Amino acid sequence: MNLLLLIGLPLLTAVGVLLSRNTQQVRSIAFAGSALQLVLAIALIYLFQKERAAGVAAQMLFEQNYALFPSLNINFHIGVDGISVAMILLTALVVVAGVLVSWRVEKMTKEFYFLLILLAMGAYGFFISLDLFVLFFFLEIAVIPKYLLIGTWGSGKKEYSANKLALMLMAGSSLVIVGILGMYFGNGEHKSFDIIQLAQAGISPAVQKLFFPFLFVGFGIFTALFPFHTWVPDGHSSAPTAGSMFLAGISMKLGGYGCLRVATYLMPQGAQEYSSWIIVLSSIAILYGAFATMMQRDLKYMNAYSSISHCGFVLLGIGMLTKTAITGAVMQMVSHGLMTALFFAVIGIIYERTHTRQINEMGGLLKVMPFTMTVLFIAGLCSLGLPGFSGFVAEMTVFMGSWQNADAFHRIATVIACMSIVVTAVYILRAIGQVAMGPIKETYTRLSDASWNEKLAAAILIIGIVAIGVAPFWLNDLIKPGAEIIMNKISGK
């Protein structure tokens, strides 16, 4: 399969959106483009597994390599392994759902969809690039659409949140570029941005030790590494529904993927050196995020803080440096992406009807909005890790991988992380109970349930969640070889 399609299709869609005449056309083009992209992503998985089954053992499949700036040795090098394929599927699912949920955006519809698609294109490009310069290019492409989406279509203190988000993410990417240049120049005469070449050549331990923190913290900011998580609650709560879905579902995963593919894979000794730091910080994030969520009265804030906690599992899995934990980290990225997108979609549906996100102002909505509330239940149960949903599988894998480290430090960290599940159960059940059950307010008795587009969006995400929860093997099989290569690099084989 030609991976250029993955970038080309969103580009075409974006151009189509710009050229379209009215709102109806904008919506149809955006939906058609993103649905086609989903088909492409599913086809990619099928073709990928077919190649693997046929015994193609290359680390990356469907590779293409074009010289871009030969004098600086920058190449447009793309290719995928199982991890990137999983992330692409996640992105495609969230994008379709996001486009569907935003069906009713009336204000500057064309610009809105254009920015959404541009953001998605950045993510696709990021996940397939194997050249650090190109990867960085796509990482930064995704920043500005977020800023404009939040600032223009957001709610609450949107300008402040948009600014905070853009600046913190830019600060993250400027640390990333320092780390990337450290690797580029750290290799002596042979300067290269190519991930595969850098991994084969190996980077000297001194360079790794110096530059690993830059890369990890830089990407960590994107994925809410404690204490750089402060943009998350503001950004998510101010963003429009699709914006929150993209932020939590896709954008935060860019950071996790970068931490794994760039920081850990290319600098394994650096990762070992700092792994205890990563574990401490991510444990704090997990526990702090969970407790902070308990205090929230606003549904979006609640989900934003719980994202900090859940993304902590991603970083914890990476920090544990075992094959199972890393597999779990990737699964958690996919699972959390789907689940949190679903959560934000439901919150958007509720907010559009009740015009409030305060938990204590709602109640009894199950009577008037049975479908929406069922979806809320599913999202909540997935979030607290009920077996049968993706959250359970992913978190369980992380825990199992963490437990493989036999010393007291790792065990204690694992136990602390496990404890957060109890806290999660408390806030999820309490919030759902208050929103769905109890007496209904007079003003809410006439609310309508989700419309067809919202139902379709929720269904797409739920299918993903359940598919992972009930039959985790396909995802596991997809991710494991990639995780194994990273792990071999870490253990020095």
Ramachandran sector of residue 385 (left: φ over 0; alpha: ψ -120 to 50; beta: rest): left
Closest CB 394 distance from other proteins, rounded Å: 32
Q: Which residues contact 215 (CB under 8 A, 6 or more apart)?
A: 175, 176, 179, 180, 258, 259, 262, 263, 267
Own/partner long-range contacts of 100-103 (Cβ < 8 Å, ≥24 apart): 100/31, 100/453, 100/454, 100/456, 100/457, 100/460, 101/241, 101/242, 101/245, 101/345, 101/348, 101/349, 101/453, 101/454, 101/457, 102/240, 102/241, 102/242, 103/27, 103/451, 103/453, 103/454
CA 486 vs. chain centroid, Å, equals 20
Taking the least distance from each CB to other proteins, the nearer of 25 and 73 is: 73
Taking the least distance from each CB to other proteins, the nearer of 22 and 71 is: 71
Q: Token match 């139902």: residue?
A: 455
Q: Which two tokens mark 410?
A: 């790792």
Q: Measured at the alpha carbon of residue 322, what is the angle toward residues 392 and 278, in degrees to the nearest 5?
A: 85
358 three-state secondary structure: strand
Find out whether 229 and 217 touch, Cβ atoms under 8 Å: no
Taking the least distance from each CB to other proteins, the nearer of 121 and 417 is: 121
Closest CB 67 distance from other proteins, rounded Å: 8
Closest CB 170 distance from other proteins, rounded Å: 5
Closest CB 218 distance from other proteins, rounded Å: 10
Closest CB 255 distance from other proteins, rounded Å: 17
Taking the least distance from each CB to other proteins, the nearer of 186 and 388 is: 186
Taking the least distance from each CB to other proteins, the nearer of 182 and 472 is: 182
Closest CB 488 distance from other proteins, rounded Å: 30
The Cα–Cα gap between 254 and 119 comes to 12
The Cα–Cα gap between 254 and 157 comes to 25
Find out whether 309 and 285 touch, Cβ atoms under 8 Å: yes
Closest CB 146 distance from other proteins, rounded Å: 12
DSSP 438-478: SPPPGGGTT-----HHHHHHHHHHHHHHHHHHH-THHHHHH
Cβ neighbour number for residue 366 with a 10 Å cutoff = 18
Taking the least distance from each CB to other proteins, the nearer of 68 and 284 is: 68
Closest CB 267 distance from other proteins, rounded Å: 16
Taking the least distance from each CB to other proteins, the nearer of 70 and 439 is: 70
Q: Which residues contact 152 (CB under 8 A, 6 or more apart)?
A: 107, 108, 111, 112, 158
The Cα–Cα gap between 334 and 337 comes to 5
Taking the least distance from each CB to other proteins, the nearer of 118 and 318 is: 118
Q: Token match 């913190």: residue?
A: 168
Taking the least distance from each CB to other proteins, the nearer of 23 and 49 is: 23
The Cα–Cα gap between 260 and 317 comes to 10
Taking the least distance from each CB to other proteins, the nearer of 56 and 178 is: 178
Q: Identify the DSSP state of 406.
A: -
Q: Token match 């409030």: residue?
A: 356
If 0-12 CB within 10 Å is exposed, 13-18 middle and 19+ buried, where does residue 128 land? Answer: buried
Closest CB 46 distance from other proteins, rounded Å: 31
Residues that bind other proteins (CB under 8 A): 68-72, 133, 136-138, 140-141, 143-144, 147-148, 151-152, 158-159, 162-163, 166-167, 170-171, 174-175, 177-178, 181-182, 184-185, 210
Closest CB 125 distance from other proteins, rounded Å: 10
Taking the least distance from each CB to other proteins, the nearer of 177 and 379 is: 177
Closest CB 114 distance from other proteins, rounded Å: 11
Closest CB 2 distance from other proteins, rounded Å: 19
DSSP 74-113: EEEEEEE-HHHHHHHHHHHHHHHHHHHHGGG--TTHHHHH
Closest CB 266 distance from other proteins, rounded Å: 18
Taking the least distance from each CB to other proteins, the nearer of 162 and 292 is: 162
Taking the least distance from each CB to other proteins, the nearer of 151 and 319 is: 151
Find out whether 196 and 130 touch, Cβ atoms under 8 Å: yes
Find out whether 330 and 410 touch, Cβ atoms under 8 Å: no
